[in-house]
Amino acid sequence: MNRTDEMDGVRRLLAEPPEPSPEASAKALGMLADEMSGGRRVRASEGRRRLGRPFGLGRPFGLGWPFGLGAGLVAVGAAAAVAIVATGQGTSGPPGASEGTRRPGKVDLNRQAVLAAAAKAELLPTGRYWYTDQITGQSYIVRPKTGAYAITGAHFESFRWAGAKKGMGEAFYGRDIPARPLTPKDEALWRKAGSPSAFRVWSNDHYYTYDRHTSPWQVDHPNAAGGGHWFGSGPNGGDMTVDDLQNLPTDPASLAARFLSGASVPERRKQALQRQVDSLRRAPVPDDPKKRAERAGSLKVLQSMMDDVDGQIAEDPHGSRDKVLDVGNLMMDLPLPPAVRAGLMRALAAQPGVRAIGPVVDGLGRKGIALAGPDTTARIDGEYGAPAAEQGSYTSHEEIMFDPATGELLGSRDVLTRPGGAYRSQAPGFVINYWLVRSSGWTEAKPKPPAKLPF
């Protein structure tokens, strides 16, 4: 036998696969169309959540994070330094001033938020470094014979810091933290099941086993020369610099125009899909029967995506769920001047489809006040192989939570409003996933991730 050339061997071993199916191509194109239309911001939030439970296989966190998903999803925190903190308040206006036209019920929250942010601004320690410590978790249902209970899995803590100016450095850390029963009731059922230390659960499109381990902090792409800017939050996903931060407006109307202008995100999505359909239709129908079938398949998939979008438009005509997520993204990732923060809160509270829902308690047991988007329906079918128990539809809304005393962002989460599907036996209020700010702020010394676990 002749010795095989290893490169040819590899090519033969990993043989040419079939071309992507028309459905897969059309779906990918539809996702891109969505993204090109400005759905980017939405997807960024979803994708970011997904970091804790990556599509397909494997574990959260990898060396590819900041690069691969980083662009829009993980902005490297950078700092606008003392100047911003000190100057931010001037234009935010007194709480409640000229807000008389707002519906009652929102005024309080606005007042609180603005007051709180202003108070926070006065108290904010200024410093050379900005850091943010965040926790993401996703709820899963474990279904032993002794009774189903919910756990938080894909439990992940990230810590990143950046110097106020370029050259001061930046780093990004991550660690797995233990999966755990979600509520005391779940904990009781977990004990009844023998307090297992591993949880095999359905996750999107496969079974995955989460366990109670903690991984050491893993630093990812530290950059001693970095700092002073961050990615993905500028127009079209470009960089934002310290100057950009300082130049942000503080009044709600300008901030809404800048960051929440996607009033018609679903419509724009639909238009983008329509443009793809039109361009497919405009192109001559290919002679090759295979290509023709591909074209028909693409049209069909795009049409069904448009139907889905129609359903979304009906439930959330103003794209308000996305706006809740967007504000969360901005506040998590950027050391926004307090007046900008306050302005964003007021802007969000004033959006149609966004309502103040009163007191909440977050996953770390902290009391907060919250704004919520509209109820939207998720439908899980068997397309990705979900077992029967995981299929079905449910509705939920996205909440963003603030500390009433300080105006600080506590986090955001997806909360069940109509049980169904995998969550059919859960009550409204069940937390489907969360994304919490454990701590964030300025320091003089280079920040270090905490050794202590959050739970």
Partner 1 sequence: MAHDRPPEREGPARPGSDTEVIVRSRREPDAFAEIFHRHFAEIHRYAARRLGTDAADDIAAETFLVAFRRRGRFDPARGTVRPWLYGIVTRLIGLHRRAEGRRYRALARTPAENVEDGHEDLVAARVTAGDAGAALADALARLPRGERDVLLLVALADLSYEEVGQALGLKTGTVASRLHRARRRLREALGADSRALMTEEATA
Which stretches of the chain bind partner 1, using CB under 8 A?
A: 1, 3-4, 6-7, 9-21, 24-25, 27-29, 31-33, 35-38, 40, 43-44, 47, 54-59, 62-65, 67-69, 71-72, 232, 236-239, 272, 275-276, 279
- Residue pointed to by tokens 């308000």: 320
How far apart are CB 177 and partner 1 at their closest, in Å? 19
b/e sequence 323-351, b meaning 16+ C-beta within 10 Å: bbbbbbbbbbbbbbbbbbbbbbbbbbbbb
Q: Nearer to partner 1 by C-beta: 59 or 111?
A: 59
How far apart are CB 81 and partner 1 at their closest, in Å? 24
With 0-12 CB in 10 A as exposed, 13-18 as middle and 19+ as buried, what is 207? exposed
- Give the ranges where 195-350 is alpha helix by DSSP (H): 242-246, 252-259, 265-282, 289-315, 320-333, 338-349
Q: Nearer to partner 1 by C-beta: 23 or 251?
A: 23
CA–CA dist 176, 188 (Å, integer) = 24
How far apart are CB 281 and partner 1 at their closest, in Å? 14
Report the candidate in 300, 266, 279 with the shortest Cα–Cα distance to residue 373. 266
Count of other CB atoms within 10 angstroms of residue 175: 18
Q: Nearer to partner 1 by C-beta: 240 or 324?
A: 240
How far apart are CB 108 and partner 1 at their closest, in Å? 38
CB 153 within 8 A of CB 176: no
Half-sphere exposure of 285 (CA within 13 A, CB side): 6
How far apart are CB 163 and partner 1 at their closest, in Å? 21
3-state class of 149 per DSSP? strand
Pairing type for strands 376-380 and 367-372 reads unpaired
Q: Nearer to partner 1 by C-beta: 243 or 444?
A: 243
Q: Nearer to partner 1 by C-beta: 5 or 122?
A: 5
CB 211 within 8 A of CB 195: no
Backbone angles phi, psi at 403, to 5 degrees: -75, 120
How far apart are CB 78 and partner 1 at their closest, in Å? 16
How far apart are CB 10 and partner 1 at their closest, in Å? 5
CA–CA dist 219, 52 (Å, integer) = 16
Q: Nearer to partner 1 by C-beta: 134 or 298?
A: 298
How far apart are CB 223 and partner 1 at their closest, in Å? 13
CA–CA dist 325, 139 (Å, integer) = 18
How far apart are CB 329 and partner 1 at their closest, in Å? 13
Q: Nearer to partner 1 by C-beta: 1 or 427?
A: 1
Q: Nearer to partner 1 by C-beta: 70 or 374?
A: 70
3-state class of 362 per DSSP? coil
CA–CA dist 235, 88 (Å, integer) = 22
Q: Nearer to partner 1 by C-beta: 233 or 320?
A: 233
Give residue 334's Cα distance to chain centre.
14
Task: Return all residues near 75 (Cβ < 8 A) that are at least 6 apart.
Answer: 230, 231, 232, 233, 240, 333, 334
